[in-house]
Amino acid sequence: MDYAGRLEISYYHTIATLNSAHKIYLVQHRETEKIYVKKILDVYNLHIYEYLMGHPITGIPKLYNIYEENGQLILIEEFISGISLQEMMDDRTLTLDLIVRFVSELCNILEKLHVLNPPVIHRDIKPSNIIITPCGHAVLIDFNAAKFLNDTADHDTVLLGTQGYAAPEQYGFGSSTPRTDIYALGILLKELSSALPVPTDIFDAVIRKCTEMNPSNRMETVQELKAEIEALQNHNSNHHIPPQKSFTLPGFRTKTPWKMLTASIIYAFIFWTGLSMEIKDATGFHLWLERIFALFIMLSVVFCCFNYCNIRRFIPLCANKHRRIRYLGVLILNTVVVFLLTSAMVLLESVFDFFFSL
């Protein structure tokens, strides 16, 4: 039994649970009081973590302690402040420039892994495994599925990775290589492009080349992928292609059936509530004016919350890296829009009363 390793791990006490299902905790060192992340892994490659601990790579959380016992691996790694790329996709705060920056930085990180001897293949690249720091840089986490390149293996013996992002060879149709990570980057690029407030197709050719079923038909290196997406971005900028506006209502943008059904019910309720509401002492023109503006106010809340036509761009706080600050920005935006609509209604009523009193 490794008593020294167990003693080192005992110096970290848990202060919060980050993900109970995946056994991820926020811990603090009892002496230095510094904050770290503790992970307890059931599936892992010990040699990968030993190498990463001895050879830190920029863009990957630094490992401070590893301890194996009873078929589990305990990791103490650097705490990375930020939000996941998945959260940015869900909140639709991505821009074309951010996508190129994040994917380019991921390519730089993977290049350092792929040029090792033997190369390290991550095999689980997905939005939830990418943290965006407050400074706007991408950090690649979770090496549970990682492996060293084995030139003698003709197929993977264990299926690891995430469905939808895992390349065909991870399902037993071949052996994982650096092009396995390129496949996942292609899927990631596709998902990021569709998560823009106005989805873009400028990367479609690159995505197809990254996600070929036959690995030999994919791009050869991550630097080739990086060069192509940066060239496409520059071409787009140099030709000043105006962004297309999408007026598709929230709830219908992804064309997901359950979302469209839910949105239809909500919009029907909003219209019924707004156009049938009774307002004290309001009749005729005043009643219908206030009903229409009440309808607009309810719709504006929905549009602001779901960033309709990228309306959040008017409030910089809405693009902040911290979730609470973004929520504050959305609240401010809603307040401003409601105030403007209410003021417009009062002004119209005043103008109406003025002309009819002459």
Is residue 261 situated within a structural domain? yes
Is residue 193 situated within a structural domain? yes
Is residue 154 situated within a structural domain? yes
156 and 171 fall within a common domain: yes
Q: Say which CATH number the domain at 117 has.
A: 1.10.510.10
Q: Write the CB contacts of 11 (distance below 8 Å, at least 6 apart in sequence).
A: 29, 30, 31
232 and 87 fall within a common domain: yes
212 and 134 fall within a common domain: yes
On the CB side of 273, CA atoms within 13 Å amount to 12
Range of the domain at 39: 3-78
Task: Count the domains in the chain.
Answer: 3
pLDDT value at 278 more than 90: no
Q: Which two tokens stand for residue 310?
A: 């990228």
pLDDT value at 55 more than 70: yes
- Average pLDDT over every residue of 110-139: 93
pLDDT value at 322 more than 80: no
Work out the pLDDT band at 293, boundaries 50, 70, 90. Answer: confident
The per-residue pLDDT for 244 is 44
pTM exceeds 0.75 for this model: no
Question: Lowest-confidence range among 5-19, 112-126, 308-322?
Answer: 308-322
Is residue 250 situated within a structural domain? no
57 and 111 fall within a common domain: no
For 21-35, write each residue's pLDDT tens digit: 889 999 999 999 999
Is residue 13 situated within a structural domain? yes
The per-residue pLDDT for 162 is 72
Work out the pLDDT band at 157, boundaries 50, 70, 90. Answer: very low
pLDDT value at 99 more than 90: yes
Judge whether 12 and 32 are in contact, CB under 8 Å.
no
53 and 92 fall within a common domain: no
pLDDT value at 241 more than 50: no
From 57, 78, 99, give the residue that closes a domain: 78
For 163-194, write each residue's pLDDT tens digit: 777 888 877 767 889 999 999 999 999 999 98
Work out the pLDDT band at 85, boundaries 50, 70, 90. Answer: very high
